[in-house]
Amino acid sequence: MLKNNILFLAFILFLNLHSQDLDYISEPHQNQGSIQVLSDFRSDFVEDRTVEFWLPPDYDPKNKYNLLIMHDGQNLFDANKTWNKQEWKLDEWASKLILKNELSSFIIVGIHNSGKNRWNDYFPEKAYDFVKDAKYLNDNKPALYADLYLKYIVDELIPFIKSKYLKSSDDFRIVIGGSSMGGLISMYAAFEYPEIFDGAICMSTHWPGAYVIDNNPLPDAIFKYMSQNIPRSKGKTFYFDYGDQGLDKHYPQYSKRVDSIFINNGYSENNFKNLYFKNTSHSEDSWGKRVDIPLKFTLEKL
């Protein structure tokens, strides 16, 4: 029991390094839009946290924009401000795709993680109800905040975004995305709130759920939750991927299970992808090299 608890705490510490909260002001970049930072977004559901809003070049509040909401928002735009000096280059990719007319203009909202409670915010809370391993439940009884975190996004953050940045219409897509545990919570958000989210980007999704051990009951619990709660396929788009290096080496074994859940529930290659990237690691550098693929797949032109 002691060994399991030590492993669990060590893994949570690793996950929470994605990354320390930062308070800074971003400057506009030529042809790459601009970033507005709200350093203390108040919430009645979770800890207050920083939120960054990327606005596309030539942003005009009177125009229509799709919306991309991303977890681990401090890792998206500026490697000089991240814990590991890596970034997704999401502003560069978004600007390029918009300027090349491959995508309609969209707004990116990057929600900083809470640091110490990142795992608690991101683990799919209702999936834990499917864990039946009594010993595991006795050894590990974490506090889970994912349902409150999603209420924060749906009931507080999205109304704020609509009132400040999306005044023209409700006729736009909302996609939610992230990587690792951020991939899990993105899937969970789209499953729990199908009336809100039109799609999810789940890169290097951490199907083990926590630390990697033999006879881990969490993946099976997550997949059982998914099988019973998957949204109807009409109008929905789900993107998953995985590599084979670092933490990603633990993910290929789950790919067939993921595929079967979606294909058996009416999804096809038109609205579901689960892609494998050989020799690819679990890092912002890796996600930043391929994030254009899920952007183009999930964010339709208006």
Consecutive H or E run containing 163:
helix 158-165
Domain span at residue 279?
Answer: 2-298
pLDDT at position 28, please? 52
pLDDT at position 169, please? 67
pLDDT at position 61, please? 84
Burial class (CB in 10 A: 0-12, 13-18, 19+), 183: buried
Low-confidence ranges of the chain (pLDDT < 50): 1-26
pLDDT at position 31, please? 63
Number of domains observed in the structure of the chain: 1
Whether the CB-CB separation of 200 and 175 falls below 8 Å is answered with yes
- The residue behind tokens 């994912």 is 146
pLDDT at position 22, please? 35
pLDDT at position 79, please? 67
Task: Record the pTM.
Answer: 0.89
Distance CA 70, CA 291 (A): 12
Of the CA atoms within 13 Å of residue 198, those in its CB half-sphere come to 15
Distance CA 85, CA 79 (A): 5
**Rg of the chain in Å (alpha carbons):** 18
218-229 and 255-263 are packed helices; what angle lies between their axes, rounded to 10 degrees? 10
- The residue behind tokens 């920083």 is 50
Can you give the CATH number for the domain in which 131 is found? 3.40.50.1820
